Structure 1
Amino acid sequence: MLRVEMLGGFQVAGVGGSFSRFRTRQTASLFAYLVFHRGKRLSREVLAEMFWHDAPHPDKARASLSVAVSSLRSQLETELVGQVLLVDPRTLGVRAEAVSSDVLEFEQALDGVSSDNTPEAINTLRQTLALFRGTFLPGFYDDWVLSEQARLRDRFTAAVRRLGSFSEEEGDIDEAIYWRRQELLYFPEDTGALEHLIQLLTEEKRMEEAAQAYHDAVRRWKDDGLGSLPASVERRAQAALALYPTASTRKKPRPAAAPVVFAAPAPSPLRETPPLSRVSALPLDITHFVGRQEELAQLKGLLEREEVRLLTLIGPGGIGKTRLALELARQVQQEGGSAYFVSLQEARHGQGFLQAIASSLQVRLPSGQGGELLELVSSLLSQSGRVLLVLDNMEQLLESDALECLRALLQRAPSLQCLATSQNRLSIPGERLFPLAPLPTPPVESLALEEEDPAQFEARWPSVALFVDRARESVPDFHLHARNLAIVARIVHVLEGIPLALLLAAARVQVMSPLQILEGVEARFQLLATTRKGGPERHRSLYASISWSFDLLRPELKVFLARLTVFRGSFGHLDVEQVLGIPLALDYLAELCDCSFLTTELSEHRVCFVMLESLRLFADQQWGPQEREEGRRRHAEYFAGLAEQARGHWRTDQESLWMERLESVLPNLRAAMGWSLEGEEPERLEVAYRLGSSLGRFWWINVYHKEGQRYLVELLQKESLHQVVTVEQVVRLKISLMTQLLTGGEYEQVCLWGKKALSLMSERGDEILEAIIYANMSAAEVSTYGVDNFITYSNRSFYLLRKNSDYERLITGYYNAAMGYIRIDNIEQSIKFTCKHYLLARRIRNGAYVNGSIIALAGCLMTYGDERHALILYKNVIKNCLHSKNFFEMLGALICYCLILYRANPTPELRDILESIYGMRQVLGFEFGIVSSRFIAQHELQITPKKVTSLEETKKTILAWAEELTQGQPDLTDEQLRKIVREFVRSL
């Protein structure tokens, strides 16, 4: 059992020792909340909103909760402790038998004390109060914590006063004084307890102790940021002490008749200064403010809310935080508000922080200690109404006392608002984060940029607009036109929309053409630098900006970040733990997120981490070649293993989940593929074989066949491959290559590689592999109208598969035969093999194959005129493919469905969908197949492929249309399918 102590501090003790540090403050508060409600299951939605209410989107809050839960499970659930958390998709809780808590023990003991003032009850109460060791969760400022602090304080105070009153009634004044001191020890702000204590001491003529109690209270109020004691308390204390002669608390006694005097602090000199000018001199920026209009509006909306006192713009160096904050301050001024820009570039501690604020306020502070300066600045700000301070570059003050100064300013000046720019969260109570992302960049893969209007293109993409605007500073007549538009789009895409990188690249147009700049951005740290003066040194090059941020990291985090560069795109914390061999990598990842070196993305099933390529390139330079090579090897082996895991789930009900998993780590798979082909060492080729033999179906279903084809061809050309893998394994690679070639319509190449594979098969008579080769060759032959070879190859394949009882591959052969006979207008045979396919699919109870049967039958119906039933079948196919994430088959069914509808009613919407799909086909280089091509030719339909401006956006549009089409579509029953077949056969 874990013991959780929350009174006077926060600590968890278990079999292996104790700890008090959690991944984040929210994670700690979440665990405390769950312990406080142990045994109960609490809504995850409520918890996400409760602890991450400042997240920019509910998905981000849910993602943060998932990360926190993973961190808690890694930290708490050991072999000795066992399960601690109760976790399911909707709720979260803590097992009551797994934890104990000092708060629960204290409250249970207090509930058990009798209300009668019997000696037994009073003695029990004394023992119970010994369990109270301080404020509940000190240093935590969540709403639920503050509420519980007040409730527990009231319970403790009531019990203490009961003991104090009992002691006074019994005449035991020493014990009564003791309990008042205990109350003040834990709650120094309780002025009632202070007054009562001074009264008891003065009545007992213990004037030295009374004066000392007063001075202790004054000191604690000041140290805790509570200010001065209320004047009413001072007056009552003065009056009480004046009734009795006293001695001073100093070593030298005063005259006996002189009363103790409690002097009020002298008024601050700033109390008599005129209020601040509402018009401050903001730094002059002569450049245009480009983009970020949406972010600017969001920030203004947040600052209009009174509860938002501290808003932190967080993001990596060079992302444009300072420029955005400055523009916001300027607009606040223009609208009649009071805004001041505070540059903290030279500040290193709290005193420098306060001096920088005073300088911005145009006030000269007297020399003095930090406490005096804090008093002066807070006094000035508290008199000045609503003020916005823009605190620029707070990240360099995170390890100093400046954060305490900022917290005190916010407490003492109720109308003060602060907008901080930082690469790290400040972790001050009430802080609201506003993550700043790079400027949006145009997708450059498969773009029809030659048709773009330059002016509209510049207006649509802020990153392009920023580059062009800054380029005009060096070359006034620089503008976008048809010849440079695609090049500029590529430049901003490669630079990831990072404003600093765009500014530095744009400055080069004076001496370099856009094409030369594009060629140089791959070596971006050398190109993106300037010797011009002005601005911070770190903003004179992208390298310097990232280096400055990197230097702020602690040493072990620097090492971890360098090792993390083996990953590409997005990755999960379990991936990192396996590749890097770090059990609690989540803590490091979370810290790098707080430092803006990583961002998070929420997928349907997990939280992923992403690093900007510029940051990755810099961090990659921070470790040696041997370490880097070892890291890349481990990375490649891990993702090869992941691909093999996925292969084991093809054509099962888990296939869609694994397709989505591989899609989410596709950049990492590509990095592993790249490493595996860099040489001919056995360990590389072994990884290459594992990837090539596992990813075939993934490439096919997701239309990455061109990529798979290139990879397999290069692998099969490796001279050392035969020394690493067997003949059978080489044949399997060639079969996978044939599948990718078939998808792309390269039928001659299919037969060429098939004959190469068959020549190898003469050395090893594996009839199953031989059958697969003949099946692929038959599909290629029928597409080129090689009818005789099609029938010969098909029959040979069927014979070998039946002989070896390989029914799953026989199903695929039946499908190819059904499509082939449609091609050569043999309706009887196409129906025959369609029925064979369906019956065998039902026999082995595989939904993926049943869907193939429906596709084949729908093709027959469409080709031979039963379009009504074909529409019903295709609609079910589309629905099934959406569920199984089979994008390739979905596209084939969708185009056939649209073609039938379009022939009957050629609406603009249908034409747009058809042209978009055909545009994708041109870009991706895949063939839709026999049925749609035959239907178009048969009905003389004119479909012009649309220029796809963004492949990703087009894919999203088509998926959204398919989901809308199949909304509420019932599943096709066996009886309905049999009825359709019977009607069709009768019609023939």
Structure 2
Amino acid sequence: MESVATTWFIELFGELRAVCAEKSVEKFRTDRCRLLLAILAARPERMHPREELGDLLWPDEDDRPLQLQRLRGELSELGTSLGKDIFEKSGNRGVKVRSGIASDVSRFDQLFLTAARATPEQRLPALEAAAALYKDDLLPSRYDDWTIRERERLKVVYCDVLTRLVLDLEAVGRADEARALRHELVSRFPDLAAPPAPTTAGAPALGGDGYYGREEKILEVREWRGRLLTITGPGGMGKTRLSKQALSPPAPTGEGAIFVPLAEVSDAKSGFFEAIHAALALPKGDAPPRDQVVYALRQKTAPLLILDNFEQIVTHGAPLVARLLKDVPALRCLVTSRRRLGIAGEQELPLEPLPHAPSVALFLDRARRARPDFAQNPSALPLVEEIVALLQGLPLAIELAAARSVVLGPMQMRDQLASHLRFLVNRRHASNERHRSLRAALDWSIHLLSPELKRIFARLSVFRGGWSLEAAETVCQGCDMEVLNALDELHSHSLITVAFDETETPRYDMLVVIREYAEELLAKSGELEETKAQHAQSVEEMAQRVQVCFKEQGVGPMQRLLSKDLDNLRRGMDWAEKAKRYDLLYSWLHMLGGKLFEGEHWRDFERLMDSVDGHIEDERALMRFCSLRGALLRRQGKEDAAALYWDRWLELAERLQDTEAQKWALVQLIDQYIFLGRTEGACIYLEKYKIVDNDFVNIGYFEMMIDYKNGKKDELIKFAKKEMQEKLGDMKDLTMMIEYASILIENGHFRVVGSYINSVIDSILSSGNKFISAKIANLMGECFEHDKDIKRSYLCYEYAARSHAELGSRNADSSKKKLHEFLTRHKNVPEWGLLQGQKTCYSLAEL
């Protein structure tokens, strides 16, 4: 019999299958048995520590001995299916498959490494073999953590394989195959596809430089039929390269595009026509250069000028372009500029940052030109993706960073990007000094600004995550220039971006590297502290707008408005804490605290409370602070600490004779003591409540809850059923209704709970309250499980456990336990293997 080590081949692209000669094994006894085989086969050369395998297979199990015991069972099952000698073991420490066993994933990775290290002549066969192995995504029906991570890694590697393969096939004249592969990349991985533009006639590959992510823009330029098109964008966005890539080769004479470099022209009146004259290679004559240019262009059938780097002569040069277009009716002009010309008939083609996948492809191409062995191990690709994300899709920044691969690895590059301007410098010869560094590229843009516009530009760097028009007006108080006009001008210089939401409200922002430059200007101006104070005032005004939005439009629009400025709130807190502006911090807590609390922003809410704790002198303000602090502490499961703040709340309310505040402090204390099962304490506070308020609804509710905790259940169950049936769709007493729902489910009344949840679920979703949504998800899970809808039950429990864990709520441990118990109850359900392969991380709306 042939050795196991030489016969089994494990297929992981697509569905799992183990193949040995004529034998094929596709079914395994347990789902974890399948996952274990996949993990081991993907890295057959590695000795996998048993503890690591235990964590991957049972991530929610904290009992290590139990994990290892289960692992032994799964290994035994695999041995039964594939042969007892399939494994090598390192005592009780590690496990690997025996030498000779391979998988399509391990071969794919090896071929990728081979291609990366090979000469161009040897690379093509390895790339073709790697592409042939990738039949489908890795285990596409599985969604456990290991599979998701490995699947995404392999997608990125496959994108790189196909991108290189397209280039190599074109290089050897196999254009039809290259086109087919490009189509395969785009259709199969639309979110990753980043093939280079095809090298068709009239579109050279720019001296061999790979070109990524501008396919649609190239097509727009090629299909342009107007007379004046201006490609705009910040320095380093690739405007010149796009113009050359999209059009026919720049020709000094004859028909075709005539490339006119204008970077060295500072005076349009004296230099514009001289530059065109030189580009046309016209002889010197007695006539002025302008007349000679006009005459020469009229002799051409369809002249096309590429006017490159026009931004510094826009003011005086734009009228000259308009007059030239009028004098030569057949002329068309393609302009690259950091700002529009602003003349009649102009069409604009703004360049945005590159998408993520083309950015990765560009970075790897440039880095490997500098150092061919850069990031060849597929495990380095996540670091590469981090680097590219920090560079925000700016082509020049990507190329400058990639050039550092000669002396740095991916991890060091990522760490160095804490300062973009210092790191992104080309130490070698640069044909264009403006592209020698990002700082040089920005210097070129900034020197075109007026002093007052430069001042506003610097001030806008104080924002984080963008800003509104109102916020800009506050931060730029005292500037002589109209802020709206300044924003328009800065946008025309490609120094800020603008985006519009569904209500057509503009939101402005800067690329990080541009903001760094503007921050340096602000620091040198002497206006930094004044600007930070004005930024804090803009946060105060934002909080007021959020309050108005809540009153006029409701929870959903309010939460969306608040989420836009969370980074500005945090930036404002940084300054206010250092400046000891406790008045501002408390004002933000007062206006935004409850909204942060009811949303998903507990950390920001807690930070605001920490910043004012001990600095509130007004007793009414202190009373509100105690109420908010107690609410958060209770949701975090810190019950005793919460009780201290609520007792303080009650004490202050009694001193101030504030009956309403006394009532709500007592409600919280009674509810908390009932939750903890301390019914005697709850009764004491209930007697106080009866003195303050005769609300029979609350009193009756608390009395029934106390009786329920003491074993007298019938009255509360009967009342709860009646309430839920009568209040379908009513959100008024939602917290109380959730307690009723929990009690009814505990006692087997699932249908009435399901009907109530269905009636309020839309309102809960629109509220944006993650804590309440997670509690509802647990209740939904129990209802689905009772109806034997195992899939949706599991997904509800998973959503609840994940949400409570993300919030750090008191229900995190109990929700995790509920999910674990569910998994234990249903481990032998026939369809469970299929269920665990389904998508997780659903939203509550999807469930």
Fold shared, TM-score > 0.5 on shorter chain: yes
Matched residue, 1:787: 677
Deviation at 1:521, TM superposition (A): 1.9
What is the CA–CA distance in structure 1 between the aligned matches of 2:742 and 2:781, rounded to whole Å? 13
Aligned residue in 2 for 1:310: 228
The residue that corresponds to 2:353 in the other structure is: 438
Cα distance 1:883–1:356, how it changes in 2: closer, same or farther (>3 A)?
same
1:405 is matched with 320
Alpha-carbon distance in structure 1 between the residues aligned to 2:271 and 2:745: 79
Structure-1 separation of matches of 2:572 and 2:647: 30
- The answer as to whether partners of 1:528 and 1:541 remain within 8 angstroms in 2 is yes
Q: Which residue type is aligned with residue 322 of structure 2?
A: R
| Correspondence 1:733 to 2:643 | no
> Which of 537, 560, 582 is the aligned partner of 1:637?
537
Aligned-pair CA distance for 1:676:
1.4
Equivalent AA in structure 2 for residue 505 of structure 1: A
Q: Select 1:375's aligned residue among 289, 294, 297.
A: 294
Q: Distance in 2 between matches of 1:807 and 1:591?
A: 62
Contact 1:505 1:528 in 2 (8 A): yes
For residues 513 and 699 of structure 2, the distance between their equivalents in structure 1, rounded to whole angstroms, comes to 46
Report what 2:590 is aligned to: 693
In the alignment, structure 2 segments of 5+ residues that lack a partner are 1-199, 828-838
The counterpart of 1:958, out of the listed 818, 843, 847, is: 843
SS at match of 1:622: helix
* Map of 1:618 onto structure 2: 517
Tell me how far 1:577 sits from its aligned partner: 2.3
Taking only the aligned residue pairs, the percentage that are identical comes to 26
Scaled by the length of structure 1, the TM-score of the pair is 0.55
Change (3 A) 1:298 1:505: closer
Matched, 1:506 2:402: yes
Q: Residues 276-309 of structure 1, C-alpha deviation per residue, up to 9 Å, x if partnerless?
A: xx9999795443223x1xx422441454253x33
Tell me which amino acid in the other structure corresponds to 1:324.
L
| Corresponding residue to 2:496 among 595, 598, 604 | 598
Q: Assess if the C-alpha contact under 8 Å between 1:311 and 1:434 holds in 2.
A: yes
1: distance between equivalents of 2:707 and 2:499? 45
Per the alignment, do residues 431 and 888 of structure 1 end up closer, same or farther by CA in structure 2, a change over 3 Å counting?
A: farther
Equivalent pair of 2:230/2:340 in contact (CA under 8 Å): yes
Q: Hey, what's the Cα distance between the residues in 1 that align with 2:519 and 2:575?
A: 16
Measure how far apart 1:928 and its partner are.
5.9
Shift of 1:733: 2.6
**Maintained 8 Å contact 1:758/1:770:** yes
**Distance of aligned partners of 1:531 and 1:556 in 2 relative to their CA distance in 1, 3 Å threshold:** same
The answer to whether the 8 A contact 1:748-1:780 is kept is no
Cα contact 1:754–1:773 (8 A) shared by 2: yes
Q: In structure 2, the residue corresponding to 1:695 is in which secondary structure?
A: helix
Deviation of 1:781 (Å): 5.8
| Residues in 2 aligned to 1:877 and 1:698: alpha-carbon distance in whole angstroms | 20
**Counterpart residue number, 2:606:** 709
Aligned to 2:231, the other structure's residue is in SS state strand
Name the counterpart of 1:871. 754
Contact 2:549 2:557 survives alignment (8 Å):
no
TM-aligned CA deviation for residue 326 of structure 1: 2.8
CA distance in 1, matches of 2:306, 2:603: 52
Q: Which digits, 9 at most, give the CA deviation of each residue in 1:453-484, with x for residues without a partner? A: xxxxxxxx333333333222332211165764
Q: Following the alignment from structure 1 to structure 2, what is the Cα–Cα distance between the partners of residues 416 and 828?
A: 90
Change (3 A) 1:811 1:595: farther
Q: Determine helix, strand or coil for the equivalent of 1:318.
A: coil
Deviation of the 1:379 alpha carbon: 0.9
1:823 and 1:434 mapped to 2: Cα distance?
73
Question: Structure 1's 409 and 763: CA in aligned 2 closer, same or farther, altered over 3 A?
Answer: same
Cα distance in 2 for partners of 1:816, 1:499 equals: 68
| Aligned partner of residue 265 in structure 2, secondary structure | coil
Greater shift, 636-645 or 692-701, is seen at: 636-645
Q: Which residue of 2 aligns with 1:663?
A: 563
Structure 1 residues 326 and 921 mapped into 2: Cα distance closer, same or farther (>3 Å)? Answer: farther
Q: 1:903 to 1:431 in 2, by over 3 A?
A: farther
Match of 2:306 in 1: 390
Indicate which of 530, 546, 564 corresponds to 2:442: 546
- Pair member with larger Rg: 1
Pick one of 387, 390, 395 that aligns with 1:494: 390
| Match runs of 1:662-681 below 5 Å | 662-680=562-580
Match of 2:260 among 342, 350, 360: 342
Structure 1 residue 702 displacement after superposition: 2.0
Contact 2:473-2:483 within 8 A present in 1 as well? yes
Distance 1:551-1:880 versus aligned 2 partners, 3 A rule = same
Give the 3 Å change call, closer, same or farther, for CA 410–872 of structure 1 in structure 2. farther
Partner SS state of residue 421, structure 1: strand
Q: Whole-Å Cα distance in 2 between the matches of residues 563 and 554 of structure 1?
A: 14
- Aligned AA for 1:706? R
Q: Is the 8 A contact 1:673 1:691 kept in 2?
A: no
Distance 1:758 1:390 in 2: 76
Aligned position for 2:15? none
Segments of 5+ residues of structure 1 without an aligned counterpart are 1-277, 442-460, 945-952, 966-988
CA deviations on 1:148-197 (whole Å, 9 max, x unpaired) are xxxxxxxxxxxxxxxxxxxxxxxxxxxxxxxxxxxxxxxxxxxxxxxxxx
Q: What's the CA shift string for 1:604-654, capped at 9, x where partnerless?
A: 332221122222221122235752212211221332344256457768864
State the 1:390 CA deviation. 3.3
Give the number of aligned pairs: 629
Distance 1:365 1:919 in 2: 76
Structure 1 residues 908 and 787: alpha-carbon distance in aligned structure 2, compared to 1, 3 A threshold = closer
Q: Deviations over 1:239-259 (max 9, x none)?
A: xxxxxxxxxxxxxxxxxxxxx
CA-CA distance at 1:557 after TM superposition: 0.9
SS of corresponding position for 1:678: helix
Matches for 1:420-569 after TM superposition, within 5 Å? 420-441=335-356, 461-479=357-375, 481=377, 484-569=380-465
C-alpha deviation, 1:904, in angstroms = 3.8
The code of the aligned residue for 2:352 comes to A
Residue 246 of structure 2 aligns to which amino acid in structure 1? Answer: L
Q: Deviations over 1:859-896 (max 9, x none)?
A: 45544444344333323322113444445434543564
1:345–1:296: structure 2 CA closer, same or farther, 3 Å change rule?
Answer: same
User: Which residue number corresponds to residue 209 of structure 1?
Assistant: none
Structure 1 residue 378: Cα displacement: 2.8
Amino acid at match of 1:614: V
Equivalent position amino acid for 2:309 in 1: N
Aligned partner of residue 336 in structure 2, secondary structure: strand
1:853-872 map, 5 Å: 855-856=738-739, 858-872=741-755
Q: Cα–Cα, structure 1 residues 599 and 954, in superposed 2: closer, same or farther, change >3 Å?
A: farther
Q: Which residue does the alignment assign to 2:69?
A: none
Label 1:780 to 1:933 Cα distance change in 2 as closer, same or farther (>3 A): farther
Gap change, CA 1:854 and 1:929, over 3 Å in 2? farther
User: Could you tell me which residue of structure 2 aligns to residue 130 of structure 1?
Assistant: none
Question: In the superposition, relative to structure 1, how do residues 751 and 602 fare at CA in structure 2: closer, same or farther (>3 Å)?
Answer: same
1:150-165 → structure 2 map (5 Å cutoff): none
RMSD of Structure 2 on Structure 1 (CA): 4.6
> Which amino acid counterpart does residue 628 of structure 2 have in structure 1?
S
Distance 1:347 1:758 in 2: 75
Residue 353 of structure 2 aligns to a residue in which SS?
Answer: coil
Residues 359 and 747 (structure 1), Cα distance of their counterparts in 2 relative to 1, 3 Å cut: farther
Letter in 2 for 1:430: G
Q: Deviations over 1:408-433 (max 9, x none)?
A: 44445555543322211121222222
CA–CA distance in structure 2, aligned partners of residues 405 and 489 of structure 1:
45
Match for residue 326 of structure 1? 244
TM-score under structure 2 normalisation? 0.63
Q: What is the match of residue 211 of structure 2?
A: 289
1:756-775 paired onto structure 2 within 5 Å: 772=664, 775=667
